[in-house]
């Protein structure tokens, strides 16, 4: 099996898309990109490649196209690439599906029988071990039955045998969960550690409690042990004060970790306030002490907050040369906002980072969940229109691919 990188738009706004910034340093933002249709033929994008890659012997993409990779999935959540011709996709109902050479297998390669799928809970993220090519390990996060009528979030490891997956072991168990705000993203960082995002499990008392695993970003070794250099001694907690973070991504070159997070939904605060956060070890990101533009003393405010809500469900920092006009951008799937968002950043003379632009580059496919990078540098994303909150379209749910076009 060949390994692929696990690090982890054009469509238009016919009008003007204006976002609110979380601080005076972030300007109002507009987007006027034009929309290509979904097709298997090359599509010309209005974006141009960056000047830095003009003089190269390798062909440079001048535009991009959009195509459907797979159809008929049931609430796909996570996308990983074990090899160049193979994709694994998790479905919220508990199954892992396989796409080989562009063909979706009718039968799952693995089913988590213990998954409790309800509302936002179920089988969620997948990620590959950094040394997957040698050990074949795949990590999955899902909700299962806890004590009594409660549900919990669990991270387990599978072994990829090539034509099937087998259960290996539980990595972390008994994280608080609920039918809403269950998290959960699992992703390996550039340090080789496993990061896990957890929601507040509908209990706002938990995110500020360092002894609870809810409303946190956790950091473990690949075997589930607590790293000695974690910010809290003998604790997997890496950052706290989160409501429901579902996207983790790294800018490896600049040593930055990003997380996307869902803001309040009326019942627990004013609607909106979705966030992109720059994560630092031991950081407190404020929930439920503050949200939107309210940043209580001792907490860290977001790089940007989105009101009205976009419902960011994933994150990908794109650092590949295959689509040079997207290099250095952060992408996330928008559920409520229905589309794929692209965010770019600017750093001032003091090294402070802020958002330069945020724009929705895909907006006619419905609710977008995961976004990931393929072995060839293409960007893949999944829709989530069958989750009970979207309008189901022909072929849903689907996996799409943004691919380079060479003129």
Domain count within the chain: 1
- The H or E element containing residue 134 is helix 132-135
Please, which residues have CB within 8 angstroms of residue 341's CB and are 6 or more apart in sequence? 9, 310, 312, 331, 332, 333, 334, 358, 359, 360, 361
Decide if 231 is inside a domain.
Answer: yes
CA distances from 307 to 18, 227, 267, 289, 350 (A): 9, 37, 16, 18, 28
Chain centroid to Cα 274, Å, comes to 14
Rounded CA-CA distance 214/52 in Å is 43
- The H or E element containing residue 81 is strand 76-83
Q: By C-alpha distance, which of 271, 333, 263 is closest to 77?
A: 333
| pLDDT tens per residue across span 114-127 | 999 999 999 999 99
Q: CB atoms < 10 A from the CB of 34, how many?
A: 12
Percent with pLDDT over 70 in the chain: 86
Report the pLDDT value the prediction gives residue 43, as an integer from 0 to 100: 35
Decide if 227 is inside a domain.
Answer: yes
Decide if 7 is inside a domain.
Answer: no
Decide if 210 is inside a domain.
Answer: yes
Q: By C-alpha distance, which of 261, 276, 301 is closest to 357?
A: 276
Position of tokens 């209005």?
Answer: 46
Secondary structure of the chain: what % helix, strand, coil (to 5)? Answer: 0, 40, 60
Specify whether the CB–CB gap between 218 and 203 falls below 8 A: no
Which tokens go with 343? 């965010």
CA distances from 191 to 61, 127, 132, 194, 196 (A): 31, 15, 15, 9, 14
Report the pLDDT value the prediction gives residue 55, as an integer from 0 to 100: 52
Which tokens go with 253? 């070159």
DSSP 311-358: -B---EEE--SSSGGGTTEEEEEETTTTEEEEEEEEE-TT--EEEEEE
Decide if 19 is inside a domain.
Answer: no
Rounded CA-CA distance 99/102 in Å is 6
Rounded CA-CA distance 184/197 in Å is 5
Specify whether the CB–CB gap between 316 and 328 falls below 8 A: no
CA distances from 198 to 153, 226, 252, 305 (A): 8, 17, 23, 19
Decide if 351 is inside a domain.
Answer: yes
Decide if 219 is inside a domain.
Answer: yes
Which tokens go with 277? 């956060």
Report the pLDDT value the prediction gives residue 392, as an integer from 0 to 100: 97
- Decide the pairing of beta strands 95-100 and 110-111: antiparallel
Q: By C-alpha distance, which of 365, 362, 360 is closest to 386?
A: 365
DSSP 177-241: --SS----EEEE-TTS-EEEE---TT-TTSTT-TT--SSEEEEE-TTSPPPTT-SSTT--EEEE-
Domain hosting residue 352, numbered range:
51-405
Decide if 8 is inside a domain.
Answer: no
pTM score: 0.87
| pLDDT tens per residue across span 88-104 | 999 999 999 999 999 99
- Decide the pairing of beta strands 274-279 and 304-306: antiparallel
Which tokens go with 135? 């050990």
Rounded CA-CA distance 302/331 in Å is 16
Report the pLDDT value the prediction gives residue 17, as an integer from 0 to 100: 32
Position of tokens 């972390």?
Answer: 172
Specify whether the CB–CB gap between 196 and 141 falls below 8 A: yes
CATH of the domain at 68: 2.120.10.30
- Per-block mean pLDDT, blocks of 10 residues, the chain (407 long): 37 32 31 40 39 62 97 98 97 98 96 95 98 98 88 97 93 96 97 98 97 98 98 97 98 98 95 98 98 97 98 98 98 98 96 96 97 98 97 97 95
């Amino acid at each position: 099996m060949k390994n692929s990188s696990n690090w982890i738009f054009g469509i238009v706004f016919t009008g003007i898309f204006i976002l609110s910034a979380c601080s005076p340093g972030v300007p109002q933002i507009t987007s006027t990109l034009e929309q290509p249709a979904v097709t298997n033929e090359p599509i010309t994008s209005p974006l141009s490649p960056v000047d830095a890659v003009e003089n190269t012997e390798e062909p440079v993409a001048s535009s991009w196209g959009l195509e459907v990779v797979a159809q008929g999935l049931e609430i796909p959540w996570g996308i990983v690439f074990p090899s160049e011709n193979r994709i694994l996709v998790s479905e919220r109902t508990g199954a892992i599906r396989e796409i080989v050479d562009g063909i979706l297998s009718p039968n799952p390669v693995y089913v988590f029988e213990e998954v409790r799928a309800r509302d936002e809970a179920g089988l969620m993220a997948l990620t590959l071990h950094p040394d997957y090519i040698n050990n074949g390990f795949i990590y999955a996060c899902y909700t299962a039955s806890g004590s009594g009528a409660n549900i919990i979030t669990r991270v387990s490891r599978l072994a990829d045998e090539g034509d099937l997956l087998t259960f290996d072991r539980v990595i972390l168990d008994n994280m608080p969960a609920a039918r809403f705000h269950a998290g959960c993203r699992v992703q390996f960082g550039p340090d080789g550690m496993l990061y896990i995002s957890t929601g507040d499990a509908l209990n706002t008392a938990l995110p500020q409690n360092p002894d609870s695993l809810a409303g946190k970003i956790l950091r473990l070794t690949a075997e589930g042990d607590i790293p000695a250099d974690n910010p809290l001694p003998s604790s997997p907690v890496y950052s706290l004060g989160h409501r429901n973070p579902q996207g983790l991504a790294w800018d490896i070159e600049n040593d930055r970790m990003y997380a996307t997070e869902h803001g309040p939904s009326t019942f627990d605060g004013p609607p909106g306030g979705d966030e992109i956060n720059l994560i630092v070890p031991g950081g407190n990101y404020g929930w439920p002490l503050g949200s939107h533009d309210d940043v209580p003393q001792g907490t860290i405010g977001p790089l940007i907050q989105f009101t009205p809500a976009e419902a960011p469900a994933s994150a990908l920092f794109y650092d590949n040369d295959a689509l040079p006009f997207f290099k250095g951008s952060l992408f996330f799937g928008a559920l409520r906002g229905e589309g794929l968002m692209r965010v770019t950043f600017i750093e001032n003379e003091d090294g402070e980072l802020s958002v330069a632009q945020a724009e929705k580059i895909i907006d006619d496919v419905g609710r977008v969940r995961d976004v990931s990078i393929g072995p060839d540098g293409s960007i893949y994303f999944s829709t989530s229109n069958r989750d009970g909150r979207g309008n189901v379209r022909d072929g849903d749910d689907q996996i799409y691919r943004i691919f380079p076009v060479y003129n």
